[in-house]
Every structure is written in structure tokens, then in C-alpha cells.
Amino acid sequence: MDKNNIKKQNVYISEEEKTLNWDEIQNSFKKTFGSEIYTSWLQKIYLVKEYNDYLILGVPTRFFRDWIVSRYLDKILEQVKSFKLSLNRIEFKIIEETKSTSDLIKINELNKVTEIKDSILNYNRLNPNLNFDNFIQGESNDIALSYSKKVCEHISRYNPLYICGGVGLGKTHLLNAIGLELQSENNVMFISAERFMYHFIKSIKKNDMVNFKDFFRKSSVFIIDDIQFIRGKESLQEEFFHTFNSLMDKGSQIVISADRTPMKLDRVQERIKSRLAGGLVVDIDSPDLELKVKIIKKRILETENQFKENINLNDDVINYIANESKTNIRELIGILNRVIAFGRVHNKILTTSDCKNILKDIFSQIKVITVDKIQNVVSNYFNIPLSEMLSQRRSRPLARPRQIAMFLSKKMTTRSLPEIGRRFANRDHTTVIHAVKTITRLSEQDDEMKKNINQIKSLLLE
């Protein structure tokens, strides 16, 4: 691509086709995202071509694209839609770095020269409130908890330690607890994979890879959260692989978390997967009732101590909250906090029927879940193309996810059976009924199915 074309951003759009004013859109980005994010990211996006229902935007690098897609795509689409309603998709085109973009980077650097070290220290402090003392043991997490503690007693015996489990089940809490435990005697590095990528890109832009490598390879305990973020990001994987190897060579302890097992990390290089699986893999499951009740009680005590107040929640109410929150502990705590806040404001002892009313609010979020969204999340979760999932093919690897998506559409939206059938490539409502029955039965009998459903639900409610 010719450099000059990039500056003349409208060059690909014939005059009569053109309806968008990119400068205007950029202004709205600035308002929505704030000037820091805007200058680092949004400002560098060019309009390459405009179609009736989608846009092609130019970005300088693949990392840049990955970053934008993972963090800002929804909002960007929402913004451009407010200028042209017919748009429903954005594609990115990578346009080799040109003088103009590197100039921009230079300007940025002048504004904000931060050493990797400083910014990492700012963003990756361990949270003193997430420690072993307040991590409550239950059947679903006891193996993960006990090996996390063993790692602290005996560095690099289990290397890497890989902790996996669904959203909000305590992975970050455990990683953080390990970091706190080890930090006095070790050089602990605790970072999310997303942040790791941020520093990686930044160092590339600043031509400062030497420092980047040094910095991360120096640690004797390297803890990286949510490694699934590297999926599909080739160069990041390359860098991670080398960092990983050089840390292992040195005998540093590595601790990793992810939302799935190493082998289920699709779009991740095989050699990385086998390294990740090469130490000890432990998983955290959904909490049972007993653990949920314990966590609620502990939280109540903590809140009472912190605010020097009496929180009056009887066992019925506690059980009610524990039962209502099926999917994860973060949600459980969120619900509890709402109930406590309500009790405070109305200054009364709450009953389960008060709780029902409070929670109605929270669960009414469910209304915004659409069949489309369910289909997308399910096909992503099982890593099959949406078109295949909706197709007429009946092979089990397609049929099960399809049935799960129908089941969830019935449970989580207000759509009728015939409406759901229509959304699944015009199937009959009896097919939907069959799917709902099958998945209901399987999720009662089959642990794997139960787990899948719970994980998908939490993805949908996230």
C-alpha cells in the first residue's frame, strides 16, 4: 500500500458513496474514550473504506488491531452506528507503519515517557486483601488452594502451576495470595496477560525490547493472570514462549491462570500448550451451597468489622442468596452487597421476600440477553463457526452446542419456542422443545454438561 494513501484517508471512497465524516467520528471517540486512550489508540485509526453496512478501518500493526478488537470494538461500533445506523460490522486492515504513524508515536513519547518499570509498578501491585487467610476452602477449590500453598513452601517443585476455572471462581485471588506470600523473599512479578501485551506493544513502539525482555526475565516468581488472552495473537505468543523458557531455565517459579485447561486453548501454539501443561494443572469448580454460605458469612463478618455495624441477615436470607447465585462467587458477593446496602438504607431486618424484590432487579438484566448473543457465545465457547452451528448438519459436535444454545435461549430470553426455532435456521418449535428436554436431562446427569452450561451462563452475564 502506498504511504500517501493512508494520510488521505478518504481516498478509497467515491464521493457519492461517502456519508461519514471521519473527523467528526474521531471527535466523538475522544469524548467517549477520554483523551489518554484516544491519543494512544483511537486517533491512529484511519477510515479506509466505507460500505453501506460495514467499514474497513486501517490500523498500524497486528497488535494494535488485537488490542483494539479486544478492548474497544463494541464501543467503536456503537459510536459509528450513531452516525450511520446501517453499519453493523467493522473490519480492520493492517497498514504498515508509515512516517505519519511513527511521527504520532514520537509525539506521544514526548508527552508521556514512562519507564516500563514505573508503569508496571503502578498497575500490578498485589492486592493485600486477596490473601490465603480470607480465601475460603471448599470442595470445589481445595486442590487448587492446597497446591497454591505448596508452591509457596517449595518454589519450582510444581512448575508451572496452572490454575483454571470459570469466571469469578477465585483464580485471581489465589494468584494474588501466592504473590503476597512470596514477595518478601523473591522478586515477584504479577501481571495479567492483557497488561503483558500492553507493555509488549509499548516496548516495540518505543524500540525498547531489550528492556522489556530484561525486565520480565528478571523475576524469580512470575505470575500471569488470564493467559487465554494470548489466543490468536501470534507475536505475543512468540514473546511469551521465550519469556517462559528463559524463566524456567533460571528455575523461577511460574504461576498461570486461565479460564480453561491448556489443551483447550485454541489458537495457541502447540509448543506453548504443552509447556503450560508440563507442570501441574489444577482446576477450580463452581462452588457448592456450603462454600457459598461460608463465603457469605465471612463477608458479613468482614463488613461488620470494617464499618462497625451490625448486619442482620438470618439463615433463610443467607441460604436464599446462596441458592440464587448459581454461577460464580463474584456475582454472589455482588448480590450480597446489594442486599446489605438495601438493609442499611431501609434500616430493617430483611426477609427472603425483600431479597426476592432486590434480586429481581439484578436478574432482570437477563432480558437484555438476546438469541443472537447466546448463539455467538456458544459457538465461540465450543470453537465452532456460527454458520456450522446453525446449519442442518446433525453430527454430535454441532448438534450439542446447537441444542445448548436453544436451551439457553428458552431459559434466558423471553422469546417463544417458535420464535427461537426461526432464529435457528427456521427450525420447528418441536425441535426446540426436544433440545430443551435433552439439555435439561443431561445437565442433571452429566457433570461436564453442567459445567459447560454454568460457564456459558457466566460468559453471558459477564
Binding site for Mg ion (CB under 5 A): 172
Site string for ligand ADP, 277-316 (x = CB under 6 A): ------------------x---------------------
Angle between helices 315-324 and 289-307 (to 10 degrees): 120
- 229 binds ligand ADP per the rule CB under 6 A: no
CB of 295 to ligand ADP, least distance (A): 5
Q: Which does 333 bind (CB under 5 to 8 A by kind): Mg ion, ligand ADP, none?
A: ligand ADP
Strand boundaries in 381-428, DSSP class E: none
- 330 binds ligand ADP per the rule CB under 6 A: yes
Is 194 or 208 the residue whose CB approaches ligand ADP more closely? 194
Is 169 or 408 the residue whose CB approaches ligand ADP more closely? 169
CB of 260 to ligand ADP, least distance (A): 12
Cell readout for 208 is 525498547
Residue by residue, DSSP assigns 348-370 as S---HHHHHHHHHHHHGGGGG--
Of 83-91, 154-162, 325-333, 370-378, which segment contacts ligand ADP by CB under 6 A?
325-333
**Chain position whose Cβ is nearest to Mg ion:** 172
CB of 189 to ligand ADP, least distance (A): 18
Q: Tell me which H or E stretch contains 104.
A: helix 99-111
Cell readout for 62 is 497486528
Of 161, 329, 336, 340, which lies in the binding site for ligand ADP, with binding defined by CB under 6 A? 329
Residue by residue, DSSP assigns 214-268 as HHHHT-SEEEEE-GGGGTT-HHHHHHHHHHHHHHHHHT-EEEEEESS-GGG-TTS
Q: With the C-alpha atoms ordered 313, 317, 318, 321, is the resulting torsion angle positive or negative?
A: negative
Is 328 or 413 the residue whose CB approaches ligand ADP more closely? 328
CB of 73 to ligand ADP, least distance (A): 22
List of residues 6+ apart from 364 with CB closer than 8 A? none
Cell readout for 340 is 446489605
Is 136 or 339 the residue whose CB approaches ligand ADP more closely? 136
Q: With the C-alpha atoms ordered 205, 80, 52, 9, is the resulting torsion angle positive or negative?
A: negative
Alpha carbons 45 and 131: distance in angstroms, whole number: 41
Within 125-184, the residues that bind ligand ADP by CB under 6 A are 130, 134-136, 141, 165, 167-173
Is there a contact between 162 and 173 (Cβ–Cβ < 8 Å)? no
Number of alpha helices (DSSP H) and beta strands (DSSP E) in the chain: 23, 8
Is 61 or 328 the residue whose CB approaches ligand ADP more closely? 328
For 139, which DSSP code? T
Is 118 or 142 the residue whose CB approaches ligand ADP more closely? 142
Is 58 or 179 the residue whose CB approaches ligand ADP more closely? 179
CB of 223 to ligand ADP, least distance (A): 12
Q: Which does 329 bind (CB under 5 to 8 A by kind): ligand ADP, Mg ion, none?
A: ligand ADP
Q: Which residues bind ligand ADP (CB under 6 A)?
A: 130, 134-136, 141, 165, 167-173, 295, 329-330, 333
